[in-house]
Structure 1
Amino acid sequence: MLLRLAYLAATKSFSLLRLLPMSDRDKDIEILALRHQLRRRLGRRQSLIV
């Protein structure tokens, strides 16, 4: 349990450090790509449910 917590803390820290040198435009592009990916995943789930 403690090892998992340490792993999660380390991965979150590295992901935050990766975002620091990014410009606002790069961040906006990444947000748009993640939104698109989420919509595609949700669309697949809804089509499986119906």
Structure 2
Amino acid sequence: MTPPAPVEEQTPRLGGSLPHTGSEGTLAASAASAALLAGGILLYRRGRAASRR
């Protein structure tokens, strides 16, 4: 009868990292969205002001 193979203990890895979810461009997309909304609001208000004249 052969003895069982020795069990190697795994040491926990320190400094783990989070998985990459593809959300790196979220800040840039949010800034672009806010700029487009602000531009649209500006054009809307200018158009309404011009139509009242």
Structure 2, unpaired ranges of 5+ = 1-22
The runs of 4+ residues in structure 1 deviating greater than 4 Å are: none
- Counterpart residue identity of residue 30, structure 1: S
1:45 aligns with 2:48: yes
The structure with the largest alpha-carbon Rg is: 2
Alpha-carbon distance in structure 1 between the residues aligned to 2:42 and 2:35: 11
**Residues 16-31 of structure 1: pairs in structure 2 closer than 5 A:** 23-31=26-34
Structure 1, unpaired ranges of 5+ = 1-20
Deviation at 1:42, TM superposition (A): 0.5
- Counterpart residue identity of residue 24, structure 1: L
TM-score by length of 1: 0.53
Deviation at 1:45, TM superposition (A): 0.2
Q: Quick one: higher RCO (CA 8 Å, sep 6+), 1 or 2?
A: 1
Give the match for residue 32 of structure 1.
35
